[in-house]
Amino acid sequence: MGAAAASIIGGQGTVVAAGGLLVLCMGLWATGLVAEIVTALMFFALAMLLKLAPAQTVFSGFASSAFWLVTSGMVVGLAMNRTGLGDRLARALAVRLPASYPGFVAGLVAFSFALAFVMPSNLGRIALMVPVVIALCDAFGLEAGRPGRTGALLAFGVATPMLSAAILPANVPNLVMAGTAETLFGIHLNYLPYLFLHAPVLGFVKGALLVACTVLIFPDRLDGKRPELAPLPPPSGAERRLSVILAVMLALWLTDGWHGIPPAWIGLAAAVICLLPRIGVLSSQSFGEIPLRTCFYVAALFGLTAIVNETGLGADLGHALLSVAPLEPGAPAKNFATLTGLSIGFLFTATANGAPALYTALAEEFSQASGFDLMSVLMVQVVGYSTLFLPYQAPPIIMTMDLGRLSLADATKLTLATGVASLLIATPLAYLWFRLTGRLA
């Protein structure tokens, strides 16, 4: 009896310690009081010192395919920067942008979405493109201080994390969700079905809402003249080789349902080819320039959710949420709205990068309470965490503000307006699309 009681107390102590570690890590990641990499390393150290789970659980994030997709995405992004292919794509965009302010903003938003297909790193796309967007604003006459310049930069910055949610390997939240689902439930997501389910609403409808909000909040006009840009030199050999690598990578991603190779290993192979001597476009020393802190952050998130699940904390949190969440079998519209709301709620405490980890850890509980199958519960959360209300919820928006010297007040105006419009318009349309495609019975 005494041994049983001690076991129960010990188990409860582990749950409490896991809960404390969860609050500590999520709090530090959300507030940014210390660097993300410091919090990630702190998690690994405390989890092992407190013996919350075996090492294979704590470090399970490094075995996740999502970890390797993030790493390979960093390599591909660096390759596009180094070869000049990214700048060439931007210049090609410039000559096609309409010479009207709404068309200019719409073109930037569309380019952000298109670039996410070939450059799977939000922060990499921001670092590459914001200076180019600034140059485009100058070329089109949108000088510093004009509302149109603010609107154009923020539209690109907000589109980068928001619209890329529709493309499986294109941002960290998607990879956190996919990696956690793989770790906890053995579920593997396929590229094309995911794109078909989310792109119509989360890509196109939300993109249109973002353009409309930008033009209304930051009204401006162009003089109607298309700028003349100095021609670029012919593509280098490195650019041509990288173009082939990216084309093959994208083709294999689109056909993963046919050949069965997960996107992570395709991306990793592309990264390796980029680093090969003579064949690739980067020297092996270039790998030292990859910001591995983001990769470690993702691995720590996966390890944290694995501990939450293994210690039973996830089940306890799920029961607590279910006691107040109006989930019930046979009410698909209400369940869809509730699950979307829960996903959005996690954004305010854990940001877009951490929210999928918390939600996915509780997905099985949500599935049982709602009557939705587990895959449907997982997919509904994407509608939620792609609905951003405040800039801090997505690091790419903060980075855009820094690079573009934009105020928090202006960024908040756009994210709040787009978030409300998405909640009122895009979320109901997403529910209808889920029903139409058979994702929800």
Tens digits of per-residue pLDDT, 325-352? Answer: 888 898 999 999 999 999 998 888 667 8
**pLDDT value, residue 376:** 95
Would you say residue 300 has pLDDT above 50?
yes
Read off the pLDDT of each residue in 123-127 and give the average, rounded to a whole number.
73
Higher pLDDT, 295 or 373: 373
Asked if 161 and 109 count as a contact pair (C-beta separation under 8 A), the reply is no
**pLDDT value, residue 9:** 37
**pLDDT value, residue 309:** 73
Domain boundaries of the chain, sorted by first residue: 13-435
Average pLDDT, whole number, for the chain? Answer: 85
Percent of the chain with pLDDT over 90: 34
209-243 tens-digit pLDDT: 999 999 999 999 987 666 666 677 888 888 899 99
**pLDDT value, residue 10:** 46
Confidence of residue 244 (pLDDT cuts 50, 70, 90): very high
Lowest mean pLDDT among 100-104, 131-135, 428-432: 131-135
Higher pLDDT, 413 or 11: 413
**pLDDT value, residue 30:** 67
Read off the pLDDT of each residue in 175-200 and give the average, rounded to a whole number.
90
Would you say residue 398 has pLDDT above 90?
no
**pLDDT value, residue 230:** 67
